[in-house]
Amino acid sequence: MSDKGLARVRSSLSRRGRRPAAPSPEQLKDAVGGLIGAVDAGGDQLPPTKVESARHTLRKASERLELVGGHTIVALAGATGSGKSSTFNRLVGSAASTVGMLRPTSTTITSAVWGDDPATQLLDWVGSANRHRVSPERAERSGVGEDLDGLVLLDLPDVDSHRVAHRAEADRVLELADVFVWVTDPQKYADGILHEDYLQRQRNHEAVTLVVLNQADRLDAQEAEACRRHLHQLLVEDGLPNVEVLLVSARTGQGLDELRGALATAVHAATAARVRLLGDLYAEAESLRADVADSEPQISAEPDDALVAGLARSAGVPVVLDSVERDYRARASRHTGWPLTRRLRALRPDPMRRFHLDQTILAKGEKKRGKAQSTEDAEIGAVLARSSLPEPTPAARAAVATLIRRTGAKAAQGLPPLWADAVETAAGPDENDLGDALDQAIVGTPLRDRTPSWWYLLGALQWLFILCALGGLLWLMLLWAMAAAQLPLPQTPAYSGIPVPTGMLLGGLLGGFLLSVLSIPLVHAGARRRRRVIEKRLDTAIAGVAKNRLLAPQTEILARHRQTRESLDRVLATRR
């Protein structure tokens, strides 16, 4: 290479130094992992077309990284008549690619490989059937020696071809290239197809993009520089401010040394493939990031009081609490009431059995029909038992639906549509499933506790009073029988002028009655206290249903959203 050519290469290298440092293999690996994590976590909440595009890019990255040999794929692309094939031939040093008068002339992928490795596997992957190998001798004669060893140069079909198959083939290979060299000419450098369909999409691949303004020999120096400046301004508008524009003439060889130098720089760095792949991954992450919010709504892990209260009303908790209170009073009366009338009280309907609440698991220490429940029996009962509580009223259903919608809307606030729809759907489970879960929560909640000790105390006192009354009655009956049989009557003891048997009878009856009356306020207070205790238990059970059936699905979706966001940000951070 001439001294003048070396100077141009140094100038090119200095300008390229403004670009970010080449990514390390670890950065590329991290970006791949981030995009995989985002796609997996995002699931159906990411647009299907974007997900498919991301998966395609990941497959391409995997295939490219599996190819060994350290080659750099450089694609010469451009419009019809721009001189791609002529430039390709000048770089190769022979007429490897067909140049003709008819347009379009490039119909297949022509490739040239520098170095001893023929890159067969890589060219099979690219799909190039027309292959040429640049021998070391030919490279030496062209003035580059071993500078381009490892270069795989591709001559693509015209990107503006009126033949759909040609343009599709060019687009396919552009997806696989490591470095892009866009060849244009003074007549077509501002062409809309080149800029709008291709260069504007290269924003994430600026570091591996080069633009060649061919046919510079047809212009004088001032005109050529004016075209170069205008083309550079167009590139700035395309979002490619750091892309170099080389003035080249494939006919005279002008600027080819600088072009070879730029290609040699890319080959020697051996990072173009990573730069290109990282740009692809970045572009996919940037595209998906538009469908992910910058943060997640802050929602409580526990349901609020309004939601729990609404679900409780819908599930029939007020009816259950009324039954619990009546059940407490009935059971207390059976323990503390007058023994002679307890049988009559037992004939009253059981308030718990009416709604099949008597199947409820009992609290620890409680006996059922004289036998303690085993843990296994309790678990089976919780699954099989069903209550007969009345169906919720339309007003209660509407209130619950409103509360659920409000909860879903709060959890979906600020999220993109697909994520918001998923959160709101998760917040509104099937009404029958929710009703069954609430019913199971009620049936599985212990509605009775250990029998209060004071019940036994009052019950024992009642039996003492009844025994006292019975003793007095039997004593009086014995005295009456003796009198009827005209037997001598023993002296009947008295206290304050009242015969003891009469006092025992009246005292036992009056004491039992007064004890029953005095126990009523205690029973009612205990019933109210039991109602409050059971209400807390039921609220806890209802809150558990709300948490598991309403909040947990929302939280899971928000967690996936967070994972998707953080994974995408990981990919985007590799370019900062």
Query: Which helix or strand (DSSP H or E) is residue 124 part of?
Result: helix 120-126
The answer to whether residues 206 and 103 belong to one domain is yes
Say if CB 149 and CB 114 are below 8 A apart: yes
Please give the order of strands across the beta sheet that includes 244-247.
Answer: 130-134, 110-114, 151-155, 72-78, 179-184, 209-213, 244-247
Strand partners, 73: 152
Is residue 26 situated within a structural domain? yes
Q: How far apart are CA 508 and CA 468, in angstroms?
A: 5
Distances (CA, A) of 422 to 124, 408, 426, 434, 561: 44, 9, 6, 18, 11
Is residue 166 situated within a structural domain? yes
> Which range marks the domain in which residue 379 is found?
305-463+522-573
Closest among 241, 194, 192, 196 to 214, alpha carbons compared: 194
Q: How far apart are CA 316 and CA 112, in angstroms?
A: 80
* Mean pLDDT taken over the chain: 82
Residue ending a domain, choose from 222, 255, 289 = 289
Q: pLDDT band for position 523 (50/70/90)?
A: confident
- Helices marked H in 413-452: 417-426, 431-443
At residue 346, the pLDDT reads 61
At residue 195, the pLDDT reads 94
The answer to whether residues 375 and 264 belong to one domain is no
Cα 269 to chain centroid, rounded: 40
- Whether pLDDT at 492 is above 50: yes
Strand partners, 498: 495
At residue 517, the pLDDT reads 84
At residue 88, the pLDDT reads 93
Q: pLDDT band for position 358 (50/70/90)?
A: low
Residue 478 neighbours by CB distance under 10 Å: 13
Structure tokens at 160: 């503006």
User: Mean pLDDT, to the nearest integer, of 65-75?
Assistant: 86
Is residue 530 situated within a structural domain? yes
Residue ending a domain, choose from 257, 289, 321 = 289
The answer to whether residues 143 and 44 belong to one domain is yes
Structure tokens at 179: 């470095």
The answer to whether residues 257 and 336 belong to one domain is no
- Whether pLDDT at 363 is above 80: no
Q: pLDDT band for position 426 (50/70/90)?
A: confident
The answer to whether residues 195 and 258 belong to one domain is yes
Say if CB 53 and CB 287 are below 8 A apart: yes
User: Mean pLDDT, to the nearest integer, of 197-211?
Assistant: 92
The answer to whether residues 382 and 284 belong to one domain is no
CATH of the domain at 280: 3.40.50.300
At residue 45, the pLDDT reads 95
Percent of the chain with pLDDT over 70: 82
> Looking at 68-77, 173-182, 232-241, 416-425, which range is the least confident one?
68-77
The answer to whether residues 153 and 240 belong to one domain is yes
Q: pLDDT band for position 62 (50/70/90)?
A: very high
> Looking at 206-210, 355-359, 406-410, which range is the least confident one?
355-359
- Whether pLDDT at 435 is above 80: no
More confident: 10 or 479: 479
- What is the domain count for the chain? 2
Percent of the chain with pLDDT over 90: 37
At residue 16, the pLDDT reads 44
Is residue 96 situated within a structural domain? yes
**Residue 193 exposure: Cα atoms within 13 Å on the Cβ side:** 13
- pTM check: above 0.85: no
Strand partners, 133: 113
Q: pLDDT band for position 248 (50/70/90)?
A: very high
- Whether pLDDT at 193 is above 50: yes
Is residue 502 situated within a structural domain? no
At residue 222, the pLDDT reads 93
- Whether pLDDT at 12 is above 50: no
At residue 133, the pLDDT reads 87
User: Mean pLDDT, to the nearest integer, of 105-126?
Assistant: 85
The answer to whether residues 136 and 217 belong to one domain is yes
Q: How far apart are CA 198 and CA 166, in angstroms?
A: 15
Residue holding tokens 């004890």? 515
Say if CB 278 and CB 27 are below 8 A apart: yes
The answer to whether residues 275 and 364 belong to one domain is no
Q: How far apart are CA 438 and CA 426, in angstroms?
A: 17
User: Mean pLDDT, to the nearest integer, of 65-92?
Assistant: 89
User: Mean pLDDT, to the nearest integer, of 245-258?
Assistant: 93
Is residue 540 situated within a structural domain? yes
Distances (CA, A) of 428 to 140, 327, 467, 573: 74, 35, 63, 37
Q: How far apart are CA 248 and CA 261, in angstroms?
A: 13
At residue 271, the pLDDT reads 84
User: Mean pLDDT, to the nearest integer, of 194-220?
Assistant: 93
Residue 102 neighbours by CB distance under 10 Å: 5
Strand partners, 110: 130, 155
The answer to whether residues 283 and 311 belong to one domain is no
Q: pLDDT band for position 266 (50/70/90)?
A: confident
Residue 294 neighbours by CB distance under 10 Å: 8
Residues 11-32, buried b or exposed e (16+ Cβ, 10 A)? ebeeebeeeeeebeeebbebbb
Q: pLDDT band for position 104 (50/70/90)?
A: very low
Residue ending a domain, choose from 236, 256, 289 = 289
- With 0-12 / 13-18 / 19 or more C-beta atoms within 10 angstroms meaning exposed / middle / buried, residue 65 is middle
Q: pLDDT band for position 320 (50/70/90)?
A: confident
At residue 425, the pLDDT reads 87
Is residue 495 situated within a structural domain? no
Say if CB 226 and CB 265 are below 8 A apart: no
SS (H, E, C) 53-83: HHHHHHHHHHHHHHCCCCCEEEEEEECCCCC
- Whether pLDDT at 470 is above 80: yes
- Whether pLDDT at 458 is above 50: yes
At residue 68, the pLDDT reads 66
> Looking at 92-101, 218-227, 264-273, which range is the least confident one?
92-101
Strand partners, 523: none
> Looking at 94-98, 206-210, 519-523, 547-551, which range is the least confident one?
94-98
Is residue 145 situated within a structural domain? yes
At residue 148, the pLDDT reads 85
The answer to whether residues 284 and 351 belong to one domain is no
Q: How far apart are CA 484 and CA 115, in angstroms?
A: 141
Phi-psi region of 57 (alpha: psi -120 to 50; beta: other; left: phi over 0): alpha
More confident: 149 or 19: 149
3-class secondary structure, 415 = coil
Residue holding tokens 């049936």? 443
